[in-house]
Structure 1
Amino acid sequence: MQERYTTVVDVYALLQRDDGSILLLERANTGYADGQLCPPSGHLEAGESVIDAAIREAKEEVGVIIRSNDLTCAHVVHYRSPEGQGRIGIFFRTRQWLGEPTNCEPDKCAGLLWANPDNLPDNTVPYSAAAIAQIQAGAQFSVDGWT
Structure 2
Amino acid sequence: MERNMLIPAVYMIIEKDGECLFLRRYHTGYEDGKLSLPAGHIEKNETPHEAAIREANEELNIIIDPQSIEIQHVCYRYKVNRIDYYVKVNDWTGALRNNEPNKCSELIWLTEPNYEVIPIVKDNILNIRKGIMFSESLD
Structure 1 stretches of 4+ with a deviation exceeding 4 A read none
Q: Deviations over 1:19-74 (max 9, x none)?
A: 2x110000101111110111110111112111110111111111110021110011
Whichever residue aligns with residue 6 of structure 2, its letter is: T
In structure 2, the residue matched to 1:94 is 89
- Cα separation, 2, equivalents of 1:79 and 1:131: 12
Q: Is the 8 A contact 2:11 2:85 kept in 1?
A: yes
Whichever residue aligns with residue 3 of structure 1, its letter is: E
- Cα separation, 1, equivalents of 2:37 and 2:133: 18
- Cα separation, 1, equivalents of 2:114 and 2:101: 21
Q: TM-score, normalised by structure 2?
A: 0.93
Aligned partner of 1:106 among 101, 117, 130: 101
Counterparts of 1:61-100 in structure 2, within 5 Å, are 61-80=59-78, 84-100=79-95
Q: How many residues align?
A: 139
Structure 1: stretches of 5+ with no match in the other structure: none
Aligned partner of 2:122 among 116, 122, 129: 129
Q: Deviations over 1:83-130 (max 9, x none)?
A: x312100011012100132111111111001112xx312111112111
Identity across matched positions, percent: 35
Counterparts of 1:2-17 in structure 2, within 5 Å, are 2-17=1-16
Aligned partner of 2:41 among 40, 43, 53: 43
Partner of 1:16, secondary structure, is strand
In structure 2, the residue matched to 1:143 is 136
